[in-house]
Amino acid sequence: SMGFDEVTDWEYYYPSEDDDNPDDRQVVQPNPLLGGDQPKRTRTSSGAVVRVFSAEFVGRLGGTLRAQGMDSRIIIKEFSGTGASQLAVEELLSMSELQSELLSKTENRNNNDEDDIPDYDDDDKNNDNDWMIPRSIQDDRNVQTLLKELSTAPVLGILGQVELSNVEFPPNDFYQAFRVKPPSKWARWIVYEYQGFNTVATYSVPPSIRRSNLPPKRGLLGNLIEPPPLPPFEDRANYIIRGILQQSLEALATLHDTTGRVHRSIGRTSLILTTRQSQDKRESSSIYATNVNDLRVKLSDFGFSTSLGGSNYVDEEFVVRARSFGLSFRPKEDSIATRNFAMAEDLHALGFVILGLFLTSLANSEKGKTTTTILNMTDEDSLQRLLGDIFDKDMTQFRDFLLEEEDDVWKDLVLYLDKYDGWRLLESMLQAREKAAAAVGKNQMITARGLLQHPLFTE
């Protein structure tokens, strides 16, 4: 089961002295950090729950997929309740537009794929229900074609949905099979391609902890065998930066450029780490994985996504967030500046995901005390507070702090980022909203596509 939180960042203002212009207020600086009734950030649970099931195609379609070396497994997400149902609607809308754009690029390609799909026995067409068979065969072929196309897409693809209002699940049978209660008849199931369950969140753990948690292996005499040492730091850093980070930016660029949509809820669980070839999807998230060519990153969770094609994305909450950066927008206003700021919010969110990934997976955390320090300061809220409130968004001060941390826990990471000017890339992402505000009137755009030209990826 999964849920989601609503995160609110609070900004405090002095009372307006101009009764005719109540919006003309000064921000309290520094922001009070007293807790209690003056919080900097609050989290509110949505109360909605999304259940996740693993399943597989069976019968003729499942057998055909396996015969072609394709994965017959699928993922089902169950959305129930008002909040979750709205998420499902937005997810379907976003993915229908995105997948249509992605698949339209293949329409003019020579369609030789059908030669690879086996013909079914013509005798099947001679039974009493022969009018049904061509449609079912074509449906199977469509699923196979869709799965092939989605496997290379930078997003987690959707195969369809199931309305449960007309489906009955015997409660006892369902509980015996899954050990959970059956779904409500008002629930909605969305069916996704299977790409495993490993995300940046599962990868963002100090490597010493992950190594110590590996299942023990024994030698011929029953003695415990120590897990292999970690790959060299340079190899792991290249995998994370030129693999996970680069493909994450490419996925976000595709979302922004191809469909003109923004994600609006990017987190560590939104980025799935999977493989290109192997059906063991766990390989890409192993601490020993260093082959970028076998990694594929897929963006998921589009329940809060919205289109930039109209003006609905500029709602009251958007206006309030923009105002804290000195931008004055009106609800329903659509302009280069509003689009720039909307995309910058995605880049900002991705920046904190990547910063947390760096500080955990590339930390030298062999000592227990060091590991505790890492875990206490690398969650998103702690990083937001550290960068925004303590170092006032100064990346140079933040870099020096990491370099001086005890046990040289981040020394290798700092020197690696120094070598490729990586701090400038992090600053561009973490301060994307500030840069979007500064670009107003200059006809400039802050884009994920532009960040892919950084020396971290090209040198």
Residue with tokens 């660029």: 253
The pLDDT of residue 12 = 63
The three-state DSSP-derived secondary structure of the chain is CECCEEEEECCCECCCCCCCCCCCCCECCCCCCCECCECCEEEEECCCCEEEEEEECCHHHHHHHHHCCCCCEEEEEEECCHHHHHHHHHHHHHHHHHHHHHHHCCCCCCCCHHHHCCCCCHHHHHCCCCCCHHHHHHHHHHHHHHHHHHHCCCECCEEEEEEHHHCCCCHHHHHHHHCCCCCCCCCEEEEEECCCCCEHHHHCCCHHHHHHCCCCEECCCCCEECCCCCCCHHHHHHHHHHHHHHHHHHHHHHHHHHHCEECCCCCHHHEEEEECCCCCHHHHHCCCCCCHHHEEEEECCCCCCEECCCCCCCCHHHHHHHHCCCCCCCCCCCCHHHHHHHHHHHHHHHHHHHHHHHHHHCCCCCCHHHHHHHHHHCCHHHHHHHHHHHCCCCHHHHHHHHHCCHHHCCHHHHHHHHHCCHHHHHHHHHCHHHHHHHCCCCCCCCCHHHHCCCHHHHC
Cα–Cα distance between 380 and 268 in angstroms, integer? 9
Q: Whole-model pTM? A: 0.84
Work out the number of other CB atoms within 10 angstroms of the CB of residue 310: 11
Amino acid found at 101: E
pLDDT score, position 110: 41
Q: What angle do CA 115, 117, 123 make, to 5 degrees?
A: 105
Q: Is residue 243 a contact partner of residue 325, using CB atoms and an 8 Å limit?
A: no
Give me the pLDDT at residue 125, please.
44
Residue 29 confidence (pLDDT): 59
User: Which residues of the chain register pLDDT less than 70?
Assistant: 1-48, 105-134, 366-370
pLDDT given for residue 200 in this prediction: 97
Query: What CA–CA distance (Å, rounded) separates 243 from 291?
Result: 9
Kindly report, residue by residue over 33-60, the tens digit of the pLDDT.
Answer: 544 455 566 666 555 678 899 999 999 9
